[in-house]
Amino acid sequence: MSIAISETAPSFSLPGVDGNSHSLEDYGDASALVLVQSCNHCPYVQAWEGRLIAIQQDYAERGVHIVAISSNDVSSHPEDSFEQMQARAREQGFNFDYLYDESQSIARALGSERTPEVFVFDGDRKLVYHGAIDDSRNETAVTAHYLRDALDAVLAGEAPAVADTLPVGCTVKWRS
Amino acid sequence: MKIELLYWDGCPSHPEALELLQTVLAERGIEATVELREVRTDSEAEALRFPGSPTIRVEGRDVDAFGAEGRPALTCRIYYLADGRVSPIPSREQLEEALR
C-alpha cells in the first residue's frame, strides 16, 4: 500500500545514471518533486516515457523536478541493471534524473506496486498526488492529464482536484 | 483453428489483448475458441517458451515472430507497432495478419 496523501517524502540517497549520488535534500529548491517508480523493461513505462520527458520540459522553468527510480530485482530482470539504465537514459534522452534503488528501500518506503507509478510532493515535500501519469497508455486516447493537473494545482498553491488514481503498469519486481 | 493466449497474472495487459483478439475474430467471422493458459512459474515459462505476457499463438505460431525469440520470463511483453510506438499488447494488424 502506498504512502498516504499529506505524508512526507522518504529520505533517500541513490546513485544516478549520471554517475552522481542524489538525495532528497538535493532537490530542496524544487517547487514540486515527482518521484516516479520506473524501470527499463516494462512496456507501460516505455509507452509513457516520452510524456514524462515532455512534462519535465514543460515544467522545468517552474521548478518542477521529475526523478525516476528503478528498484527492480535485476536477477529476474537483467534489462533493469544499472548499466542498462544508463544506456536507456542516454538513448531516450532523459531530461530527468534516473536513480537505482538496489536495496528496494525507496520502493518499500513509498509502497510502490507498479511501474510507472508517480508520487507528487509539494514544496513542503508532502504527498499531494499519487497514481497514474494520465488515463491511457495510448497517448492519442488520453482524456485526463492527472500528473499535469496535479502540478498545475501545486504551482497555484492548491490541492489537486484528483489526488489518487490507480497506476497501470508492470509490477515492481521484488527480490525473492 | 487453435488459438492460445498465454498470460502471466503479474502483468495487467491480457484482458485488453483478449478483448482485441475476440473483436478481430468476430469482425472476420472466425469461430474459434481462445484457450487461455496462465503461466505461473519461471520453469513453466521456460517449458512453454513464454517470452512475456501476453503471448498469442495461432496454430502454434506466435503472432509476433520477432518477439517470440525473447528470453522466457515472467514479465510483460513488449510489442512494437508499425509507427514505432511500444505497446503491451499486439496490434490489430498483427492479429489480422496472424489470422489470415
Map out the domains of chain B as residue ranges. Answer: 3-98
pLDDT in the model for residue A11 = 97
Q: How far is CA A32 from CA A66, A96, A131, B13, B64, in A?
A: 9, 13, 16, 31, 42
pLDDT band at A176 (very low <50, low <70, confident <90, very high): confident
The one-digit pLDDT tens for each residue of chain B (100 residues) are: 899 999 999 999 999 999 999 999 999 999 899 999 999 999 999 999 999 999 999 999 999 999 999 999 999 999 999 888 899 999 999 999 999 8
Cβ separation of B75 and A169 shorter than 8 Å? Answer: no
Q: Which residue of A has its CA nearest to B78?
A: A43
Q: Which residue of A has its CA nearest to B79?
A: A43
Provide the CA A56 distance to its chain's centre, in angstroms: 11
Number of Cβ pairs closer than 8 Å across A and B?
35
Residue B53 C-alpha cell reads as 505476457
Q: Are A99 and A14 in contact (CB under 8 A)?
A: yes
Cis? peptide before B54, omega within 30° of 0: yes
Residue B52 C-alpha cell reads as 512475456
Kindly state whether B48 is in contact with chain A, defined as any CB-CB distance less than 8 angstroms.
no
Q: What single-letter amino acid sits at B25?
A: L
Average pLDDT, chain A: 97
* Topology (CATH level 3) of domain B3-98: Glutaredoxin (3.40.30)
Cβ separation of A47 and B86 shorter than 8 Å? Answer: yes
The pTM of the full predicted model, rounded to 2 decimals, is 0.94
Distance from CA of A48 to the nearest CA of B (A): 9
What ipTM is given for this predicted complex? 0.89
DSSP string, chain B: --EEEEE-TTSTTHHHHHHHHHHHHHHTT----EEEEE--SHHHHHHTT--SB-EEEETTEES-HHHHTSPP-SSBPPEE-TTS-EESS--HHHHHHHT-
Q: What single-letter amino acid sits at A106?
A: I
Residue B54 C-alpha cell reads as 501476453
Map out the domains of chain A as residue ranges. Answer: 30-171
Identify the residue among A137, A138, A139 best suited for mutation to test binding to B, counting B beta carbons within 10 A and taking the highest: A137
Q: How far is CA A80 from CA A55, A62, A86, in A?
A: 23, 31, 10
Backbone phi and psi for residue B27, each to the nearest 5 degrees, phi listed first: -60, -35
Using CB atoms, pick whichever of A77, A137, A171 lies closest to residue B88: A137
Does residue A132 register a pLDDT over 90? yes
Identify the residue among B75, B81, B83, B87 best suited for mutation to test binding to A, counting A beta carbons within 10 A and taking the highest: B75
DSSP state of A107: H
Kindly state whether B8 is in contact with chain A, defined as any CB-CB distance less than 8 angstroms.
no
* Topology (CATH level 3) of domain A30-171: Glutaredoxin (3.40.30)
pLDDT in the model for residue A62 = 98
Secondary-structure percent of chain A, ordered helix, strand, coil, rounded to 5: 30, 25, 45
